[in-house]
Amino acid sequence: MKQPKINRRDVLKGGAALGLAGAAPMFFTRNAYAASYLNDPGNAATVTLGFNVPQTGAYADEGADELRAYELAVQHINGEGDGGMLNTMQPSALKGNGILGKKVEYVTGDTQTKSDAARASAKRMIEKDGAVMITGGSSSGVAIAVQGLCQEAGVIFMAGLTHSNDTTGKDKRRNGFRHFFNGYMSGQALGPVLEKAYGKERNAYHLTADYTWGWTQEASIKASTENIGWKTNNTVKTPVGAGDFSQYITPVLNSGADTLILNHYGKDMINSLTQAVQFGLRDKNVNGNDFVIVVPLYSRLMAQGAGENVKGIFGSTNWHWSLPDEGSQAFVKSFGQAYGFPPSQAAHTCYVQALLYADACERAGTFMPCEVVGALEGHKFDGMGNGPTEYRAEDHQCFKDVLVVKGKENPSSQFDVLEVVEVTPRAQVEYAPDNEFFAGGDLGPCNNGSA
Amino acid sequence: MNIMKSEIGMMVVFTIVILTMPLWLAPIGAGYPDLLQKFAIFGLFAIGYNILFGLTGYLSFGHAAFLGIGSYAAVWSFKLLTMNVLPAILFGVVCSGIFAFCIGYVSLRRSGIYFSILTLAFAQMSYNLAYSVLTPITNGETGLQLTINDPRILDAAVTSATGLPSTTLFGLSMSGYSGFYFCAVVLIIGFFIALRISRSPFGLVLKGIKSNQTRMKYTGFNTRPYMITAFVISGMYAGLAGSLMAVTDPLAGAERMQWTASGEVVLMTILGGAGTLVGPVLGAGLIKYFENIFSAFNDKSLHELFSFLPEILENGVVAIIRPFVGEGWHLMLGLLFMLIIIFLPGGVMKGIDRIKTKFGSKSEKPAEQSE
Amino acid sequence: MSVEDTVLHIADVHKSFGGLHALSDIDLSVQKGTTHAIIGPNGAGKSTLLNVCIGRLIPDRGAVVFDGKELTGKSPHEINQAGVARVFQTPEIFTDLTVMDNVIVPILSKKDGSYKFNPMQNLAHRKDARDQAMELIEDVGLHPDDHAGSLSRGDKRRLELAMCLSQHPKLLLLDEPTAGMSRHDTNSTIELLKKIKERGMTKVVIEHDMHVVFSLADKISVLAEGKIIAEGTPEEVKANPVVQEAYLGG
């Protein structure tokens, strides 16, 4: 753990500073010969990772859970605790002695769910704390902004929770990797389930968070629902962190729509769903159909926040703690022991990303970004909770099964709010790298950064 | 303190202090390029803001709009023209100047609180435009970023496409320390211009407007064009700062235009000392320092910091300090701001003056006050 | 009296606020080089009349002609640039600035006009303005480096007078220049105003203090309830029975 040094103010004394004026130009060439890539830990006994998560704002709950997962991952990589998924990961080069024999330390930053703040804190971690990898997310806008920064600076970015198609679509970068699934996959997985549950004759009304994630998810869901014969009544953009959605929900009542699709996440989803239920939407009957609500991207934290209101509502998720496989159970067990409750999907993806990065460094034998990129591209692994998974080399997107879930009617505990309806196989959600929803981007070359 | 009164002396001292920042800020954990760049950029923003607020007394709550416009303009210059920073800066300053003229022309029909509210309304409109309405130009919440496929007409002949280009000054990369030194030079030039303005007949007229606008009118001055000029100049400074933000980090986001960002520059100016030359730079540095250093603390780092105390005491101290650092650093800032306003209404510069006079100084008067 | 000698001509001016006729049928001519006093009881309309002259109020009817040019409807700075300066009842000075800067500001207005963009010019190099200001400051007995806000009331008044004089106005309007002053200060102000008179500057003075009026004025107009009820030399006015009834006797 590093800490900012903020004592010794006496150094401020002007005289000393003036005397050193002549030395200023040396900063241009600092470390020029010492390293071949940015923030090379060299012979140091430790290596620093940067965890950049929202600690304030609409996604703060997710951010807090992500941070817990990162701390757990660091413990496991360093050989502390019960090792979690280190024991189930296939293949694994990790030895439980840090990465490449160096103990892992970490620094944290608050993205505030704002691009500027997120980039500033990522820059601080790279420039001041010497972080060799940045990871985190919870808002795709932020993830894309930070991914761009890491590409320019020359460090690896392991995206946390980011669900926008653009992260590995038009805004993909060579130094950036995403384990989480995306809006298109949600659409592909949800389509057949919705058709089976609600039929072909539906009139859908979208409320959409007004940024890259909302836009791409709306487009993906719209395409897949229209594919099964649904009509799209209207699509309305709402600001992130609005708090009160009543002005957006009232028009739904008289729109003639019989389905409300909430492209919201975090506290926004909790608020909009709660208000939609309070306004009596679910008690209505339109065109002979019972009014239904769909939340394409679900998370247990949100479901918990929305309480009773999620019962019977369909959505998709990257992972759920109730999964029976060995990897999931190992992770849930060590997370539960450390914090007293099960991890969210955000925590899961962040934990996995940290392990995957550590493993890639071990396999590459270095922290040099371009070598790590090489080790991750096309890497196939298993035992991390999602079954067999592949990091596709063409766009750095992980391909794996997707879970379709439903709010549980009779929860057995406050955490048991979602039930898995279907595990959509990877083949059904896979797409070509130049799919229309992902076209226009270019990974570009990898960047080792200039030391 | 004669050296502080002569223009050359003041510039020499200021230049040395700014250029050696990487050295004397390193021991307090602030000697890394991103924060140093922020010091220079927000220093410039505050200096410009002070030309309006410090000299004429008109409190604008909308200057973040010009900061954002400067950023967007600069990023578009990077996307369409060239990665060279000079056209970007020029483009940013001109665009924000034009916007400042339009907004100033309307807002300055009123004074006092009504002026402040008008500027706030305009800035909020700009923010909403950038956030959602003008998405094709601003890319909304995600922010405007460079892509490999941007045209970059002037660079097209020179570079072969190998990844994202970075911003340059005729080949010198504008990230890291070179970016800081570039911003620092711009800050020094900006400071010099502000110094000249404050000591010019034009500056005296602005101070006259702050002191007694009625008298100015009955003394034959047409105050409105003076106000508009001051507003445009400070708007151009904000645009310059915004374009420098894009130079050091080629991204423009709408949150840069939010009212909180406008409020921040007001805080910087008041904290440092409105109406003084150095005060705004000092205030900008203080606030950015607090933001970066205190927001980085978390439970673990606090416990390590106080680990020399007995455990019970350690936990107590950490529990008390915790709400004021990390994600709650705004509390700390609010507290600091309250203390300054209550005990040092003239800002930090006023405090320095007081100390000077108290300890048998040779300065004849509480100088620099009206600079 | 010839038309060319008339500096200020107030012709048939009406001004009412709601139902109250503040000014009605005012006809007044001020001759070049004279000191013209306007007296009258409180609420007679003296200040309203002055405000009409400097553009603060626009008359309902009638015109104010200064130096052959119509002032009605002009903005205050245009009226000042035409050559009219005003001393206010409570001194309007720049309390945040030094005495020197206070006097330089009106000189800049006179020299550079109502708007000039010269941000790169060094004020310290404006010797023309500084010398002239210094001379005036010495004339009124003040110190250039003092802060205007810390001056006594009498000194503030003197400073405002210096500021107005620095512009060499063709017409100087004074609104109760000795109000609230001690006898000593009043006398020194009278001396100062007499000195200005020797320079041939035209002045209009509104004053309560008869001592001041009779020591300065060449001509007096008596205002009551918005009308001019008498006009003439100090002796004529003193002897006028109407005035005695309306004002002096009352």
Domains of chain A: 46-181+322-395 (3.40.50.2300), 184-317+406-412+419-429 (3.40.50.2300)
The pLDDT value given to residue A5: 42
- Two structure tokens written together for A31: 């470390």
Nearest in space to B321 (alpha carbons), one of B337, B301, B348: B301
The pLDDT value given to residue B145: 82
- Two structure tokens written together for A99: 């990465």
Q: Which residues of A83-100 are buried (b: 16+ CB within 10 A; e: fewer)?
A: bbbbebbeebbbeeebbb
Identity of the residue numbered B74:
A
Average pLDDT over all residues of chain B:
86
The pLDDT value given to residue B157: 59
- For the cut 90, the answer to whether the pLDDT of residue C25 exceeds it is no
Between B224 and A58, name the one with better pLDDT: B224
**Mean pLDDT on B328-338:** 81
Contacts of B178 in chain A (CB under 8 A): 28
Residue C107 to chain B, least CA–CA distance (Å): 9
- Two structure tokens written together for A243: 């708090």
- Two structure tokens written together for A278: 């309070």
The pLDDT value given to residue B148: 73
Query: Under an 8 A CB cutoff, do A127 and B33 touch?
Result: yes
Query: Under an 8 A CB cutoff, do A110 and B301 touch?
Result: no
Banded pLDDT at C3 (limits 50, 70, 90): low
**Mean pLDDT on B88-110:** 95
Banded pLDDT at B196 (limits 50, 70, 90): very high
Give pLDDT tens digits for A94-122.
Answer: 988 999 999 999 998 888 888 888 988 89
Output the CATH code of domain C33-55+74-248.
3.40.50.300
**Mean pLDDT on A385-389:** 92
Interface ipTM: 0.89
Nearest in space to B298 (alpha carbons), one of A64, A136, A134, A145: A64
B293 touches chain A (CB under 8 A): yes
Give pLDDT tens digits for B284-329.
Answer: 999 888 888 777 777 777 777 787 888 888 888 888 888 887 777 7
**Mean pLDDT on A150-155:** 90
**Mean pLDDT on A142-156:** 91
Nearest in space to C50 (alpha carbons), one of C17, C3, C88: C88
Residue written as tokens 């209404």? B345
Quick one: what percent of chain A has pLDDT higher than 70?
A: 92
- For the cut 50, the answer to whether the pLDDT of residue C194 exceeds it is yes
B17 touches chain A (CB under 8 A): yes
What count of other Cβ atoms lies within 10 Å of the Cβ of residue B323? Answer: 12
Contacts of A5 in chain B (CB under 8 A): 27-29
Banded pLDDT at A29 (limits 50, 70, 90): very low
Query: Under an 8 A CB cutoff, do B201 and C118 touch?
Result: yes
Give pLDDT tens digits for A8-18.
Answer: 443 333 333 33
Average pLDDT over all residues of chain A:
87
B176 touches chain A (CB under 8 A): yes
Banded pLDDT at B352 (limits 50, 70, 90): confident
- Two structure tokens written together for B73: 């303009």
Query: Under an 8 A CB cutoff, do B29 and A445 touch?
Result: no
The pLDDT value given to residue B189: 96
Identity of the residue numbered A54:
P
Nearest in space to A302 (alpha carbons), one of A6, A61, A54: A61
Which of A10-19, A156-165, B259-268, C165-174 shows the lowest mean pLDDT across its residues? A10-19
**Mean pLDDT on A120-137:** 91
**Mean pLDDT on B144-173:** 74
- What's the rounded Cα separation, in Å, for the pair A52 and A322? 27
Between C51 and B160, name the one with better pLDDT: C51
Domain residue ranges of chain C, discontinuous segments joined by +: 33-55+74-248
Compare CB distances from B163 to A17, A140, A444 and report the shortest one's residue. A444
Which of A418-432, B89-103, C44-58 shows the lowest mean pLDDT across its residues? C44-58
Banded pLDDT at A360 (limits 50, 70, 90): very high
Give pLDDT tens digits for C124-142.
Answer: 888 888 999 998 898 888 9
For B366, which residue in chain C has the nearest alpha carbon?
A: C147
B256 touches chain A (CB under 8 A): yes
User: Which residues between 81 and 140 in chain B have a beta carbon less than 8 angstroms from any beta carbon of chain C?
Assistant: none
The pLDDT value given to residue A173: 92
Where does C116-233 have alpha helices with state H? 127-140, 153-165, 183-198, 210-216
Q: For chain C, what is the radius of gyration of the CA atoms?
A: 19
Contacts of A50 in chain B (CB under 8 A): none
Banded pLDDT at B360 (limits 50, 70, 90): low
Nearest in space to C89 (alpha carbons), one of C32, C42, C132: C42
Cβ proximity of B130 and B68 under 8 Å: yes
- Two structure tokens written together for B203: 């500056």
- What's the rounded Cα separation, in Å, for the pair B318 and C83? 70
**Mean pLDDT on A326-336:** 94
- Two structure tokens written together for B22: 């990487």
List CB contacts of A177: < 8 A, sequence separation 6 or more.
A156, A157, A158, A159, A353, A356, A376, A391, A396
B222 touches chain A (CB under 8 A): no
Nearest in space to C14 (alpha carbons), one of C58, C51, C56: C58
Query: Under an 8 A CB cutoff, do B164 and A151 touch?
Result: yes
Query: Under an 8 A CB cutoff, do A110 and B177 touch?
Result: no
Domain residue ranges of chain B, discontinuous segments joined by +: 2-275
Average pLDDT over all residues of chain C:
86
Distances (CA, A) of B291 to B50, B285, B296, B317, C17: 21, 10, 8, 21, 57
Query: Under an 8 A CB cutoff, do C126 and B370 touch?
Result: no
- For the cut 50, the answer to whether the pLDDT of residue A21 exceeds it is no
Cβ proximity of A179 and A353 under 8 Å: yes
- What's the rounded Cα separation, in Å, for the pair B306 and B315? 9
List chains adjacent to chain C, taking adjacency as at least 3 C-beta pairs closer than 8 Å.
B
Compare CB distances from B20 to A21, A121, A211 and report the shortest one's residue. A21
- What's the rounded Cα separation, in Å, for the pair A179 and A189? 17
Hey, of A127, A162, A175, which one would you mutate to test binding to chain B, going by the most B CBs within 10 A of its CB?
A127
Give pLDDT tens digits for C70-126.
Answer: 888 888 899 999 999 998 888 899 999 999 999 999 999 988 888 989 888 888 888
**Mean pLDDT on C169-186:** 84
C145 touches chain B (CB under 8 A): yes
Cβ proximity of C212 and C192 under 8 Å: no
Banded pLDDT at A26 (limits 50, 70, 90): very low
List CB contacts of B342: < 8 A, sequence separation 6 or more.
none
The pLDDT value given to residue B370: 41
- For the cut 70, the answer to whether the pLDDT of residue C32 exceeds it is yes
Contacts of B207 in chain C (CB under 8 A): 94, 96-97, 101
Cβ proximity of B21 and B14 under 8 Å: no
